């Protein structure tokens, strides 16, 4: 199996692209979904967030108030770092568990939607391919303001909390340009999917594991045949 790291900027279209990969039958792990899961009440990250940020970041039912926490961290880099230090290790643990499940199911590759792939760099070395969902800054700003109902200033703060999308596009193996009509993006996704499906990059790991298993089986055979006393 090999890993494909898909990233982009806030509201550049990652989830929309990932939806197409899912429809095409791909295994996909979305780190934003995991990030929401690990901060639910009862999870260690939830308690640490309350300790670090206070009960002001909670809703009445005990859930994290994402709007309040978002406004805090997107305007203050030190608080952003603090939240990342609490959540990222938990997110990575969950991500590894989900990846392993797909590996056991025999998928040739897994697409990991990792919004901060190039910012944190921690997971970059495991990615055989990197994909950036790009759109120009004006389009990104417009879509973000519209989707999240944000002011121009708040949307700017969220975009500025990440590396510029142009820089990410330069670092990626594949770029999907989502600045225009959705049908154009969808066509690019279908082409990339075809390219990944043809890849034989899953073979080395699979052959390595099969060889390892065959070795263990051979060793067990020799042990039982020659070393154990015969009845």
Ligand X SMILES: Nc1ncnc2c1ncn2[C@@H]1O[C@H](COP(=O)(O)OP(=O)(O)OP(=O)(O)O)[C@@H](O)[C@H]1O
Ligand Y SMILES: CC(C)(COP(=O)(O)OP(=O)(O)OC[C@H]1O[C@@H](n2cnc3c(N)ncnc32)[C@H](O)[C@@H]1O)[C@@H](O)C(=O)NCCC(=O)NCCS
Would you say 5 or 115 has its CB closer to ligand Y?
Answer: 115
Site for ligand X contains 8 (CB under 6 A):
yes
| The one among 22, 67, 122, 147 contacting ligand X by CB under 6 A | 147
In the complex, the smallest distance separating the C-beta of residue 70 from ligand X, rounded to whole angstroms, is 11
In the complex, the smallest distance separating the C-beta of residue 143 from ligand Y, rounded to whole angstroms, is 12
In the complex, the smallest distance separating the C-beta of residue 17 from ligand X, rounded to whole angstroms, is 7
Site for ligand X contains 115 (CB under 6 A):
yes
Binding at 7: pick from ligand Y, ligand X, none (beta carbon under 5-8 Å per type): none
In the complex, the smallest distance separating the C-beta of residue 89 from ligand X, rounded to whole angstroms, is 21
In the complex, the smallest distance separating the C-beta of residue 51 from ligand X, rounded to whole angstroms, is 27
128: Cβ contacts below 8 Å, ≥ 6 apart: 2, 3, 4, 109, 201
User: What residues make contact with ligand Y under the rule CB under 6 A?
Assistant: 10, 31-32, 35, 39, 66, 69-70, 73, 80, 83-84, 87, 91, 115-116, 161-162
d(CA 78, CA 65): 19
The answer to whether 156 touches 32, Cβ cutoff 8 Å, is no
Q: Minimal CA–CA distance to 85: which of 45, 58, 113?
A: 45
C-beta contacts of 81-89 below 8 A and 24+ residues apart: 82/52, 83/49, 83/52, 83/53, 84/116, 84/120, 86/45, 86/48, 86/49, 86/52, 87/35, 87/38, 87/39, 87/45, 87/49, 88/120, 88/122
Binding at 174: pick from ligand X, ligand Y, none (beta carbon under 5-8 Å per type): none
Site for ligand X contains 143 (CB under 6 A):
yes
Site for ligand X contains 182 (CB under 6 A):
yes
Would you say 24 or 157 has its CB closer to ligand Y?
Answer: 157
In the complex, the smallest distance separating the C-beta of residue 197 from ligand Y, rounded to whole angstroms, is 26
For 27, phi then psi, to 5°, come to -85, 125
The footprint of ligand X (CB under 6 A) covers: 8, 10-16, 32, 115, 143, 147, 178, 182, 185
């Amino acid at each position: 199996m090999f890993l494909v790291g898909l990233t982009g900027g806030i509201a550049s279209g990652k989830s929309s692209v990932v939806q197409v990969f899912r429809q095409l039958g791909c295994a996909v792990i979305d780190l934003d979904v995991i990030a929401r899961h690990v901060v639910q009440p009862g999870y260690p990250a939830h308690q640490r967030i309350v300790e670090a940020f206070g009960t002001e970041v909670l809703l009445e039912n005990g859930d994290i108030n994402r709007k309040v926490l978002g406004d805090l961290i997107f305007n203050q880099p030190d608080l952003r770092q603090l939240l990342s230090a609490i959540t990222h290790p938990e997110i990575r643990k969950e991500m590894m568990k989900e990846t392993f499940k797909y590996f056991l199911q025999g998928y040739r590759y897994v697409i990991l939607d990792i919004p901060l792939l190039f910012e944190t760099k921690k997971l970059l070395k495991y990615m055989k391919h990197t994909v950036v969902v790009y759109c120009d800054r004006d389009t990104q700003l417009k879509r973000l303001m519209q989707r999240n109902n944000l002011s121009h200033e708040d949307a700017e703060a969220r975009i500025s909390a990440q590396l510029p999308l142009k820089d990410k596009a330069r670092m990626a193996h594949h770029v999907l340009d989502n600045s225009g009509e959705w049908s154009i993006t969808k066509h690019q996704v279908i082409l990339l999917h075809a390219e990944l499906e043809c890849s034989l990059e899953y073979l080395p790991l699979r052959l390595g594991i099969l060889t390892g298993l065959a070795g263990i089986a051979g060793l067990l055979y020799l042990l039982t045949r020659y070393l154990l006393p015969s009845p």
